[in-house]
Amino acid sequence: MVALFRWLIDQAMLFARFVYPLLRSQPLWLIPYLIATVIIWGLLSLVIGKDQTDLLGSGVPQIEAILKDQ
């Protein structure tokens, strides 16, 4: 999973190096780029869903409690 995450980050960086100069030279491409960004954001919010409500904060208090056997 970590390897996949790192690969996706690398691919996103390659994509950004291609897309951002294109958006600067042809600003009309900004509209489909923003639409695609909103669609991806929506899909990610569906994947994460409402079941992940406990994914807030740093997690430090929980780790400290585990280390103290609480």
Which DSSP category does 58 fall into?
-
CB atoms within 10 A of CB 58: 7
What 8-state DSSP symbol labels residue 69? T
pLDDT average, residue stretch 38-67: 79
**51 pLDDT higher than 80:** no
Output the pLDDT for position 33: 92
As a whole number of angstroms, the distance between CA 61 and CA 40 comes to: 32
pTM: 0.58
Specify the 3-state DSSP secondary structure of 10.
Answer: helix
